[in-house]
Structure 1
Amino acid sequence: MGIGGTTCEVINNLDYPKEAHAVAQRVWVQRGKDIAPNGAVMRTSILGIHQYWDTDAVADNAIAICKTTHYDPRCQASTVAVSAAISMMLKREPQHLKKSGKYNVQQIIEDCFQIASKCLETDDEKQVLKTYLECEKIKNLNLDESRKIGYTYKCMGCGFWALKQKDFRKALQTIVMEGGDADTNGAVAGALLGCKLGMSALPVSWVSKLKHKAWLDEKIEKYLKVLLNMKGQLPGDNSTAQQPPVATTS
């Protein structure tokens, strides 16, 4: 329980420890090159923090880790889009900010599409990706669609729909009440909107009552120290990296 069918089949292959990407590709081919579940995009948010100052590196990391279990190009595009969005928000470059200092969400989405669409070959495939990235109404994602709730673009679409929202609690409750793969959809949506709004926007009770909070806080603290050391060791970079919002790791 809790392990998706694709992930389970891939990691149980005897060759997996030696050639994870090749095994994942074989499983994808054997299944008719038509399996694009959300098992990779649900775990990708943290990759937007790792090396966040280099969005190309973030995209490369996302693809490399996605392909350890999910080889479908749509899965790769989903992980790149989510990770890149987080990277862009943490970088806070001028083109991704409005004059008010708030994020230019539309520009972030457009730039995420440009990066993620490189994982796809045809214009039709790229158009489908764009449709899910630009979704304005949560109902259009049809999250409880029978036998299709685990489609990677549905999960990714939830994240980018959430990115357009302003109220963390309301957005997450709306997504969960749509049904389908609610916990996975909520994880990606919470990561993107949490990064946009910051820690202070999260409901206090959701944070303070989080199960295993002390354990998670310890892991986050250790990771942030590693990240700060990485940033400080870049050639010619004597600046102190800003700590990424804890919300992004949720």
Structure 2
Amino acid sequence: MHKFSLSLLNQIRKKMTWTENASKLSNDEIYDKLKGCIFGAALGDAVGLATEFLSKEKAKKLYGIGPISFGSDKGYKFHVDRQREKWFAGEWTDDTDQQLLIIDSLIGSNGIFNTKDFANHLSKWVDDGYPELDNKPPNGIGKTVGSVLRHSKFKKQPHRAAWDIWVQFNCNMAANGALMRTAILGFPFFWDEKQVIKQTLQATKTTHADPRCCISSVIVTILISRLIQGNIQETIPDLDDSTKQNILSWMQSGNPDKNIDNDIDNDDLPQNNELSKRKSFVKRAVNKVGNFLTDKHDRESLWFERQKKISASLNSSKHDREVPVIPDPLPPGMDTYGADPEMLALTKSIIDRYKFMINATSFDKFEKVEFTKGSRFSKFQTDMSETALLQHCFPDTLAALKLDEYSSIGYVYKCLGAGLYCFTRNLNQQNSEGDAFKKIITELVLEAGDADTNAAVAGALLGTRIGYNKLPKEWVEGLLFKDWLEKRTDSLWAILSNKEQK
């Protein structure tokens, strides 16, 4: 069944239905970038677990300047403590799980994001995890997501629930929990900027209402869509006033004061009756591939593999840890790579194009926020200015972002800035793009803080840029559920590559 399903998918890849001028890339190149985005995020997430919620100083004591052991790559072993013992070697965290929930929702809705369907997936996942992977309920889903899911209106009006929670916390919940999962939404309708933005805002506002979360997700998904179009050097016309007003209206979804109680709908998106009835050739192929790991035999095999990996991970990590040696002087890091002119210009143009989302935002609540002594939240987190956005998106160095600063570890602008800084580096400073990926992700992870989330976003962007085939194979093979993730990727590809166009 497995080989037959992959054969069907190979036929599907040759039947792309979007118009020829939608992208300058070949079908195989688009597929490679889709897979690169998904696997790049999973790799960043899994490697980032090594220093998640540690200080930079603690990470340096444990891992020096790297490398960190992952897959067949030699390096300093994962430090196991109460945070890391929840997972084991090669496993990704809730960050990748949430991107997979979006993928599952897209597969079930013919590639069209549906807010309530995603909310339903999210609720079930919080209760059960991923049964196919023998997952227990997820760890560390974050204060914002947890609070929104407990809201009484979440299942019927997710955007309203997210808005209420945001206001309840004085409009000071600009966390990175939506940014880490939405990169994949740069692929469906990549040729249609308006639809990319709309679906991105739908997914973001399911749990995160803050405008800074909205613009951060949009910057990443539009960046990815432009990479897929292959027109990174082309100048595109400014957004017209009507489109800008639509975007600002979507950002208000869930705000009871604006009489926008209903979540953004999908009425203007193309539909395909045959697909919706689950009777198409594509859906049959997806079902064959998507269910590959759901029978009892495969579930039991995964369970035993999981227990074996847990035991090996804990035993090897708690004993005989090598003491890191810090070279003097330090070898050059990614700050010395310089920025790739094309990637930097593309990033700047996109931020300039969408900064109106922040400049047009005005909420009285921001003037009323008060902080008590010892508060975990620092005042700069309430800064809605364009200056705050630009300072984080274009830091002079990676260290300037202070990613391990306790008061703002999960701040969305820090995560966005880290991802963009890594994405725009000149990759020619290493022997290969795969080596550059490893060096950049490792250096980012050693900055500590919310390292898995920061590296997941950076990994998604870099993975899209270089493609799956150029990701470091020794790391890819180190992902515990690599084969399962590949099947999910192929299932999504089958849907996206056959979706009816406008």
**Alignment TM-score > 0.5, same fold:** yes
Structure 1 window deviating more from structure 2 (154-163 vs 200-209): it is 200-209
Find the partner of 2:188 among 50, 54, 77.
50
1:225 aligns with 2:485: no
The answer to whether the 8 Å contact 1:109/1:133 transfers is: no
- Equivalences for 1:123-162 in 2 at 5 Å? 125-162=385-422
Unaligned runs of 5+ in 2: 1-138, 236-339, 362-383, 428-435
C-alpha distance 80-229 of structure 1, shift in aligned 2 (>3 A): same
Distance in 2 separating the partners of 1:136 and 1:223: 38
Once the two structures are TM-superposed, the CA of residue 199 in structure 1 deviates from its matched residue by 2.0
> Number of residue pairs matched?
229
C-alpha distance 195-54 of structure 1, shift in aligned 2 (>3 A): same
Find the partner of 2:346 among 108, 117, 123.
108
Distance in 2 separating the partners of 1:214 and 1:198: 17
- Equivalences for 1:19-58 in 2 at 5 Å? 19-58=157-196
Distance in 1 separating the partners of 2:471 and 2:413: 25
C-alpha distance 81-218 of structure 1, shift in aligned 2 (>3 A): same
Distance in 1 separating the partners of 2:145 and 2:353: 25
TM-score by length of structure 1 reads: 0.86
Once the two structures are TM-superposed, the CA of residue 201 in structure 1 deviates from its matched residue by 2.7
Tell me how large the CA RMSD over aligned residues is: 1.9
* % identical aligned pairs: 35
Once the two structures are TM-superposed, the CA of residue 135 in structure 1 deviates from its matched residue by 2.4
Q: Could you give the per-residue CA deviations for residues 37-58 of structure 1, whole angstroms, max 9, x where no partner exists?
A: 1000010111111221222211
Once the two structures are TM-superposed, the CA of residue 203 in structure 1 deviates from its matched residue by 1.0
Distance in 1 separating the partners of 2:400 and 2:447: 11
Q: Could you give the per-residue CA deviations for residues 86-115 of structure 1, whole angstroms, max 9, x where no partner exists?
A: 111111116259xxxx98212211232134
The answer to whether the 8 Å contact 1:36/1:152 transfers is: yes
Q: Could you give the per-residue CA deviations for residues 186-214 of structure 1, whole angstroms, max 9, x where no partner exists?
A: 00000111111222331111112211111
Distance in 2 separating the partners of 1:59 and 1:30: 26
Distance in 2 separating the partners of 1:205 and 1:67: 36
Q: Could you give the per-residue CA deviations for residues 67-92 of structure 1, whole angstroms, max 9, x where no partner exists?
A: 11000000111101111111111111
Structure 1 equivalent of residue 456 of structure 2: 187
TM-score by length of structure 2 reads: 0.44
Once the two structures are TM-superposed, the CA of residue 14 in structure 1 deviates from its matched residue by 1.7
Structure 2 equivalent of residue 240 of structure 1: none
User: Greater helix share, 1 or 2?
Assistant: 1
The answer to whether the 8 Å contact 2:174/2:210 transfers is: yes
Structure 2 equivalent of residue 204 of structure 1: 473
Structure 1 window deviating more from structure 2 (206-215 vs 175-184): it is 206-215
Unaligned runs of 5+ in 1: 236-250
Distance in 1 separating the partners of 2:234 and 2:474: 31
What letter corresponds to residue 107 of structure 1 in structure 2?
A
1:4 aligns with 2:142: yes
The answer to whether the 8 Å contact 1:109/1:134 transfers is: no
Moved runs in structure 1, 4+ residues, more than 6 A?
none
Look at both structures and tell me which one has the larger radius of gyration over its CA atoms.
2
Once the two structures are TM-superposed, the CA of residue 141 in structure 1 deviates from its matched residue by 0.8
